[in-house]
């Protein structure tokens, strides 16, 4: 019995609309499939070994991302109602690991990020009808849409993220960093701890609240509302939440509440605009184009979620990397101007994003002798590219004096290159300069082997206990 359009997943519909009866699964039949279980606590710890093996084995690999058995306790109806996040775990993908191939794939306009871009209007309507309403802002962010909508929205939002504009924010960002560390010192003093032996959990006390405060200030979110927003969004990136219906429902309700809050905030900013990004978005125009409310929601979600979590991990990973490499720590303490290159080397060595999971071929594409059939899903491994020995000498060595560290692809390439890259670079530089200038005795409070990677999509540490 054949399936109706409403019963088929977006990838199958995209393949059919592209003019081929071969689904992504059929195109990969017979290939060795490597399972990448990102819910496994050991995945992040050993991922670079896996990437190296795949890169050495073949030009293009086939992988399936998993997060345990996400479908184990789900009914057939629940499986049909998968969110885009859940759908990600139920597809096999071509996996690109070589630096040059990663760059060429990200620059190639024959790929799209939204499979619905290849559908007929009827197929697109059927696919969108099943999407949960609260996830729509996530699925319509700049990361998830193609031109012409992507081009129009990015043009309206880009002015808030120029390099010059970010440099102008440097004093305000420095003030946020100093205020947080002043608070950490006061808390330590209240516990009777003395300099050099004060305790701090770096993620909770600094690396997390630092970029949250910066992006909230930039967006114009009132300070008194920020803790509530954290409660609405903190579990969104957990890879294990798909197996926990109570947590899944909590996330969905949080997204509904955050959406309602932002809709009210947009209206207040229209009536009483201020010098912030949301105020500019609600009145932004360019050649007659304006942002719809859904597009503004999607942009704020992207800035608040993806924008700040990556910087949390950049700061945490950079501190751990330096403190676990004594010769690099000595170099940095002798020359704090190396903080700028420390940002780039951290992004290369332990970049927050290991892979980009959604590219779809709109036609048959040949890549270094391998054919990727149209309609197929392609994932690119930024982590593998940044450790490619054909591009970086001694790629598994952490070296803050590496001259070509800034050739990393941690922010992606092409039209979807990270919008907030200039902000992340300045935040990282200020964080590293400030921590190592203020605390000559900053050190890890536990052996580095005891510091665990987080259980979410992004590379970062759960907790980083330090003495300062």
Q: Each residue of 53-78: pLDDT tens digit?
A: 999 999 999 999 887 654 444 444 44
- Tokens 């019963």 belong to residue: 7
The Cβ of residue 225 has, within 10 Å, a number of other Cβ atoms equal to 12
Residue 453 DSSP symbol:
B
Q: What percentage of the chain has pLDDT greater than the value 90?
A: 59
Angle between helices 308-323 and 339-349 (to 10 degrees): 100
What pLDDT score was predicted for residue 277? 92
Q: What percentage of the chain has pLDDT greater than the value 70?
A: 85
What pLDDT score was predicted for residue 390? 97
Dig out the tokens for 270 from the structure. Answer: 């229209």
Q: Structure pTM?
A: 0.87
- The alpha carbon of 70 is separated from its chain's Cα centroid by a whole number of angstroms, namely 21
Q: Identify the CATH assignment for 5-467 out of 1.10.287.130, 3.40.1440.60, 3.10.180.10, 1.10.630.10.
A: 1.10.630.10
What pLDDT score was predicted for residue 72? 45
Q: Domain limits of the chain?
A: 5-467
- For the stretch 302-305, contacts whose Cβ atoms lie closer than 8 Å and that sit 24 or more positions apart, written own/partner, are 302/141, 302/142, 302/143, 302/419, 303/215, 303/218, 303/219, 303/277, 303/420, 304/215, 304/216, 304/219, 304/221, 304/229, 304/233, 305/233, 305/236, 305/237
What pLDDT score was predicted for residue 69? 54
Q: In which residue ranges of the chain is pLDDT below 70? A: 1-24, 27, 68-90, 127-132, 235-247, 286
Give phi and psi for 459, each to the nearest 5: -80, 115
């Amino acid at each position: 019995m054949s399936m109706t359009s409403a019963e088929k997943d977006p990838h199958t519909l995209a393949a059919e609309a592209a003019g081929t009866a071969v689904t992504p699964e059929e195109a990969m039949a017979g290939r060795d499939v490597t399972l990448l279980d990102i819910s496994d606590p050991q995945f992040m710890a050993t991922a670079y070994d896996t990437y190296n093996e795949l890169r050495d084995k073949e030009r293009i690999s086939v992988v399936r991302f998993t997060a345990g058995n996400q479908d184990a306790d789900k009914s057939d109806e629940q499986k049909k109602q998968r969110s885009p996040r859940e759908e990600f775990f139920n597809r096999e993908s071509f996996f690109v690991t070589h630096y040059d191939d990663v760059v060429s794939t990200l620059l190639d306009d024959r790929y799209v990020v939204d499979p619905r871009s290849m559908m007929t209007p009827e197929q697109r309507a059927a696919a969108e009808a099943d999407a949960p309403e609260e996830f729509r802002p996530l699925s319509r962010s700049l990361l998830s849409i193609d031109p012409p909508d992507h081009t129009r929205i990015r043009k309206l939002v880009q002015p808030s993220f120029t390099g010059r504009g970010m440099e102008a924010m440097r004093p305000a960002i420095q003030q946020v960093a100093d205020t947080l560390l002043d608070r950490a010192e006061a808390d330590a003093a209240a516990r009777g701890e003395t300099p050099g032996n004060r305790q701090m959990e770096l993620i909770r006390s600094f690396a997390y609240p630092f970029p949250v405060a910066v992006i909230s200030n930039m967006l114009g979110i009132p300070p008194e509302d920020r803790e509530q927003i954290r409660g609405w969004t903190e579990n969104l990136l957990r890879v294990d939440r798909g197996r926990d219906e109570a947590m899944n429902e909590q996330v969905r309700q949080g997204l509904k509440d955050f959406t309602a809050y932002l809709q009210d905030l947009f209206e207040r900013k229209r009536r009483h605009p201020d010098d912030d990004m949301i105020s500019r978005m609600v009145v932004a125009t360019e050649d007659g184009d304006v942002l719809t409310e859904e597009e503004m929601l999607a942009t704020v979600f992207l800035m608040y979620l993806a924008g700040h979590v990556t910087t949390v991990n950049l700061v945490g990973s950079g501190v751990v990397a330096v403190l676990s490499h004594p010769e690099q720590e000595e170099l940095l303490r002798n020359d704090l101007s190396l903080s700028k290159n420390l940002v780039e080397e951290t992004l290369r060595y332990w970049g927050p994003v290991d892979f980009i999971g959604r590219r779809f071929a709109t036609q048959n594409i040949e890549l270094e002798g391998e054919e990727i059939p149209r309609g197929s899903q392609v994932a690119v491994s930024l982590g593998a590219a940044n450790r490619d020995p054909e591009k970086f000498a001694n790629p598994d060595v952490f070296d803050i004096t590496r001259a070509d560290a800034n050739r990393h692809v941690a922010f992606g390439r092409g039209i979807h290159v990270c919008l907030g890259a200039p902000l992340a670079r300045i935040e990282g530089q200020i964080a590293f300069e400030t921590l190592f200038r203020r605390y000559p005795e900053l050190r890890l409070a536990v052996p580095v082997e005891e510091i665990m990677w987080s259980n979410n999509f992004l590379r970062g540490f759960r907790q980083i206990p330090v003495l300062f």
